[in-house]
Amino acid sequence: MGNTTTKADLVNTISHRTGLTKHETESVVDCLFESIIDSLKTGKRIEIRGFGSFNIRYKNQRQARNPRTGEKVSVDAKNVPTFKISKEFKHAVSQSLKV
């Protein structure tokens, strides 16, 4: 296994820890992801204490540059999903990565 954890890896870990079957666990994980996406689609913010928050951020129209050609291009205004980690999450990860 490399430096990336996949959905299948998450399902395996959760299944092992909970005793649920992999099929049951995959259904729960899929439902969680779908619920987050559905809430964001309706403009609702999601806050999971100790983990982080999902939100929609509006980005204004702007001028950008094509990196290959240097040509200016217009990037339309859009809403983009964002995720901000909680302080607890950040602290736990930074502590575990200290040498």
Q: Where are the domains of the chain?
A: 7-96
pLDDT of residue 99: 63
Cβ atoms of 63 and 73 closer than 8 Å = yes
Contacts of 41 (CB under 8 A, 6+ apart): none
pLDDT of residue 60: 96
Contacts of 15 (CB under 8 A, 6+ apart): 21, 22, 24, 25
pLDDT of residue 1: 45
> How confident is the prediction along the chain (99 residues), in pLDDT tens digits per residue?
468 999 999 999 999 999 999 999 999 999 999 999 999 999 999 999 999 999 999 999 999 999 999 999 999 999 999 999 999 999 999 988 886
Topology of domain 7-96, CATH: HU Protein; Chain A (4.10.520)
